[in-house]
Amino acid sequence: MWVANGLGSTVSRVDPGTDAVAATIPAGDGPDALAIASGSVWVADRFASSLTRISGGRNSTASTIPVGGGPVALAAAGGDVWVAAGGA
């Protein structure tokens, strides 16, 4: 299970069997929304106007992609990630 810590600028992986935090990964300035696709966790960051890809197997940031307008929501299907931006 993954949780966006919007005020903490991180994303945490939680073990659902124990409810313990297994990893905490830096994820920009304000992670708001998460989506899972193609073995990665995608994080919308409205403050940095970016999309961050976290490698689920390595618990580390793999890449950051600028997307204008402050993304606030994500959806994933068929290997694609869709971003809804509030200001663009």
Assigned token pair, 78: 């068929």
Give me 61's structure tokens: 């940031």
Q: Is the pLDDT of residue 44 over 60?
A: yes
Task: Please name which of 16, 63, 17 lies closest in space to residue 38, comparing C-alpha atoms.
Answer: 63
88 falls in which pLDDT band (50, 70, 90)? low
Residue 5's pLDDT is: 83
What is the band of 32 on the pLDDT scale with cuts at 50, 70, 90? confident
Q: What is the pTM of this model?
A: 0.85
